[in-house]
Amino acid sequence: MASSLDVVILVAGQGKRMHSDVPKALHRIAGRPLASHVLSTLRTLSPRTIALVVGYGADAVERELAAPDVVFVRQDPPRGTGDAARVALAALPADGVTLVGLGDVPLVPADSLARLAAIAREGRVGILSARVREPFGLGRVIRTPQGDVCAIVEERDATPQQRTVDEINTGFIAAPTPLLTRWVDRLTPHNAQGEYYLTDIVAMAVTDRVPVETETVTDEASVLGVNDRAQLAELERIVQRRMADALMRDGTTIADPARIDIRGDLSCGRDVSIDVGCIFEGTVRLDDGASIGPYCVLRDVTVGPATRIEAYSHFDSAQIGRNCRIGPFARLRPGTKLAEDVHIGNFVEVKASTLGAGSKANHLAYVGDAEFGSRVNYGAGSITANYDGANKHRSVLGDDVHIGSNCVLVAPITIGDGATIGGGSTIVQEAPAGQLTVARARQVTISRWQRPRKKPKADQGA
């Protein structure tokens, strides 16, 4: 039976070069904290325990990353990666193997980590390494003339010759837990930073004749860490391009994969098209043939088949049916549900409302806390007055209702099937089905009235 795997993720750092009060592990890529990406990858290995070592901003990190399979261990004061591993190992089972990694390397490959765990299960030490073009600032993997790993040396402690090595340590290491515990207890802070380096266990393993093996990553981008805002932005674009490429391979048309942001989960049916500058947050589903115009923002939205969303529309927690036409400049707020063939036009806002099949609100309108039947025509400039200053009230419009332009429906109110409301009306009582209801002042013309005139300005030359 294979040895059980336990995982330690180091997320204690402040990230001083981020110049932020937010702990580095909580800075976001693709809408999720850096450490959340690492957690998701490690969960694919089905570990027995996941321990997160927290320090700076520990309360915030624990709130954000809390999960049933996660235990938190606090490192106080911060004394290096070796000390962080030591406090974590004290909270883990003493048997099995342990994989230790960093919470700011969000693209680390799952298959490479699985191979590290397999190396540890064979009684050896596994190191995730990579060959990079610019190794400056990174720990080097040092090998003997025969090619065997003999040490990992940090940049500050490396000799000029060692700094020419292009194979770097990525910060992920695995070993049998009893051996790792023994070595960590023997660490000393004999380095330029005065810290306990976890990587010093490599030399200890060599001394104890425990084989050290590397799993070398060929894709440099997959092991990039984040130390400043520029690196965060660089990784963001890498992640976005990968997600865009995956969607395009599955048949989605993306006008420019460099100008899309997916900050959650986006799934697309067949023949979906997405124009430039769109942002998708939370969980978004675009069904077959849906079309999203430029610079739209969709958060937790379902878009039905053949529906067209025009430019600069913003949707939040809405369900949109088949063959709808929405926008440009439309806003759908939480609780909006649109049936098939609904039209929502420019500068129309809908909130906590249901619109039946074939209903239209095409211009400059507000629909809040309302229930529309089918084939309702809602005029330009009309609103539901749904809030009395303390409570929200609903408006109910039956099938085939016609609301003229610039009307106010004062909720709670019911408009019967087939009713027509004359333009400019303020409706405060039920409007009966099939009839015209008008509520507006009588038009009056005053024949001798004169508009006030401004006094002439003084002569500029006087």
Say which CATH number the domain at 95 has.
3.90.550.10
Which tops the pLDDT comparison, 458 or 301?
A: 301
Alpha helices (runs of H) in 297-421, residue ranges in sequence order: none
Per-residue confidence (pLDDT) for residue 90, from 0 to 100: 94
197 with 264, same domain: the answer is no
Dist. CA 67–CA 38, nearest whole Å: 14
The DSSP letter of residue 218 is: S
Same-domain pairing of 121 and 239 = no
Q: Is residue 293 part of a domain?
A: yes
pLDDT of residue 218: 87
Task: Using the predicted structure, report yes or no on whether residue 462 has a pLDDT greater than 60.
Answer: no
Per-residue tokens: 187: 């660490």
What pLDDT is stored for residue 292 in this prediction? Answer: 98
Residue 284 lies in a domain: yes
Evaluate whether residue 459 is within a structural domain: no
- List, for residues 103-123, the tens digit of each pLDDT value: 999 999 999 999 999 999 999
What is the pLDDT, as a whole number, of residue 461?
54
Residues 341 and 392 in one domain: yes
Query: In this structure, are 140 and 254 located in the same domain?
Result: no
Query: What SS3 state is found at 155?
Result: helix
Contact call for residues 385 and 406 (beta carbons, < 8 A): no
pLDDT at position 460 over 60 = no
Q: Are residues 325 and 205 both part of a single domain?
A: no
Radius of gyration of the chain, Cα coordinates, nearest whole angstrom: 32
Q: Is the pLDDT score of 372 beyond 90?
A: yes
Measure the CA–CA gap between 263 and 31, rounded to whole angstroms: 4
Containing domain of residue 299, as a range?
Answer: 229-437
Q: Is residue 454 very low, low, confident or very high in pLDDT (cuts 50, 70, 90)?
A: confident
Domain boundary, last residue among 176, 196, 223: 223
pLDDT tens, residue by residue, 58-91: 999 999 999 999 999 999 898 999 999 999 999 9
CB of 327 within 8 A of CB of 314?
no
Residue 236 and residue 217 share a domain: no
CATH number of the domain enclosing 242: 2.160.10.10
Catalytic residues: 363
pLDDT > 50? residue 1? no
Given a cut of 80, is residue 422 above it in pLDDT? yes
- Taking the alpha carbons of 256, 261, 262, 266 in that order, is the dihedral positive or negative? negative
How many angstroms separate the CA atoms of 73 and 124, rounded? Answer: 26
Residue 458: pLDDT band with limits 50, 70, 90: confident
Domain boundary among 223, 247, 278: 223
The count of structural domains within the chain is 2
Q: Is there a single domain that holds both residue 301 and residue 219?
A: no
pTM over 0.85: yes
- Domain contains 456: no
Give residue 366's pLDDT: 98
Same domain, 202 and 272: no
Q: Are residues 201 and 243 in the same domain?
A: no
Predicted local confidence at residue 142, as pLDDT: 95
In this prediction, residue 17 carries a pLDDT of 93
| Each residue's pLDDT tens digit, 125-148 | 999 999 998 898 889 999 999 999
Predicted confidence (pLDDT) at residue 417 exceeds the cutoff of 60: yes
Final residue of a structural domain among 197, 223, 249: 223
**Is 449 inside any structural domain?**
no
* Half-sphere CA count of 275, side-chain side, radius 13 A: 13
Q: Are residues 174 and 258 in the same domain?
A: no
Residue 276 forms part of a structural domain: yes
Same domain assignment for residues 326 and 180: no
Q: How far apart are CA 388 and CA 393, in angstroms?
A: 8
Which run of H or of E encompasses 215?
strand 212-217
Domain assignment present for residue 296? The answer is: yes
